[in-house]
Amino acid sequence: MRYLNGHPGEPPVRANLSLGDTFAGLHAVIGTLLALLARSPLEREGSAVSDTSGVAGHARSVGQVVDVSILESVFAMLEGVVPEYDGAGVVREPSGTTVTGIVPTNTYRSRDGRFVVIGGNGDSIFKRLMCAAGRDDLADDPALADNAGRVLRERDIDKALADWCSTLDADELLARLGAAEVPAGPINSVADICRDPHFLARKSIESVGFGDSVRRLPAAHPRLSSTPARTDWSGPALGEHTESVLREWLSVDATTLAHWRRSGTL
């Protein structure tokens, strides 16, 4: 995954997030759910059964190991990279802000310095996109009617879109793309997200008490209609449980605790 991210000829780029840990956690949950589903109907329902002696009991589940690694969890996210190599000998390389073999899909800078991502790779979407950009010549070019042709002219198409995007502020640009039914969106910082109308309307961020203050956290996802989740506790304040752990778990006496406080140990 790191090999594929970055710009051609430059050092590989890692995402500034611990994606491997997250992917492993998700795969562990998926594996656990699959193991639960793999139980027999009697095991799942806890139905009464009789053993060979005729004594009634309940179906006993035999567990199984859910084997998950960070390496393989990331590997599982690599889409068609292995078949491309195995079937055609193609090693997918870094492609900057684009996606290999899909044109146009890229990130563009608007007049006010913000960035938007545009996905105009569907044949009909491409025509609408180019018309919205005032490039009817490209919209009507038979050589660009399908993705294979557009891949050959990727630089020309990207330049046309970059030039157009640079003439409009991001909000106006996104409004025009929306009117043309072209998939597009802003590249959001966390500050943008915390005031974005979509995130707010979806209640994607929840407020949770934290001592005498309130902290905003990502809301639980996915959402369940009958048993929705929420965050009841944001965690302890720094050092909140230090004394109780020392007293109750490690049997430190009051005199020693007082000494540690005076010396700055606590």
The CA distances from residue 189 to 66, 124, 194, in Å, are 36, 31, 9
The model carries a pTM of: 0.76
Per the rule left: phi > 0, alpha: psi between -120 and 50, beta: everything else, 48 is beta
Q: Which residues contact 243 (CB under 8 A, 6 or more apart)?
A: 257, 266
Could you state, in order of their start, the residue ranges of all structural domains in the chain?
Answer: 19-88, 105-187
What is the band of 216 on the pLDDT scale with cuts at 50, 70, 90?
Answer: very high
> Residue 59 pLDDT > 80, yes or no?
no
The answer on pLDDT for 68 being more than 90 is: yes
Express each pLDDT in 233-248 by its tens digit: 888 888 889 999 999 9
Radius of gyration of the chain (CA): 28
Q: Which residue has the higher pLDDT, 54 or 114?
A: 114
pLDDT tier for residue 4 given thresholds of 50, 70 and 90: very high
With cut-offs at 50, 70 and 90, classify the pLDDT of residue 61.
low
For the stretch 153-204, pLDDT in tens is 999 999 999 999 999 999 999 999 999 999 999 999 999 999 999 999 999 9
Query: What class, spelled out in words, does domain 105-187 have in CATH?
Result: alpha beta
pLDDT for residue 241: 92
Does the structure show a pLDDT above 50 at 124? Answer: yes
Tell me the average pLDDT across 5-26.
Answer: 95
Which entry of 21, 112, 123, 137 is annotated as an active-site residue?
A: 21
Which among 180, 183, 54, 60 is positioned nearest to 118, based on CA atoms? 183
Mean pLDDT of the chain: 92
**What pLDDT, in 10s, does the model give residues 38-55?**
887 777 776 555 455 555
pLDDT of residue 252: 95
Residue 192 known to be catalytic: no
Among candidate residues 149, 165, 160, the one with its CA nearest the CA of residue 101: 149
CA dihedral 85, 145, 177, 163 (to 10 degrees): 80
pLDDT at 213 over 90: no
pLDDT tens digits, 134-156: 999 999 999 999 999 999 999 99
Q: How far apart (Å, rounded) are the C-alpha atoms in residues 80 and 136?
A: 34
CA-based nearest residue to 157, from 174, 173, 141: 141
Mean local confidence (pLDDT), 201-227: 91
pLDDT digit string, tens, across residues 89-108 = 999 999 999 999 999 999 99
Share of the chain above pLDDT 90, in %: 82
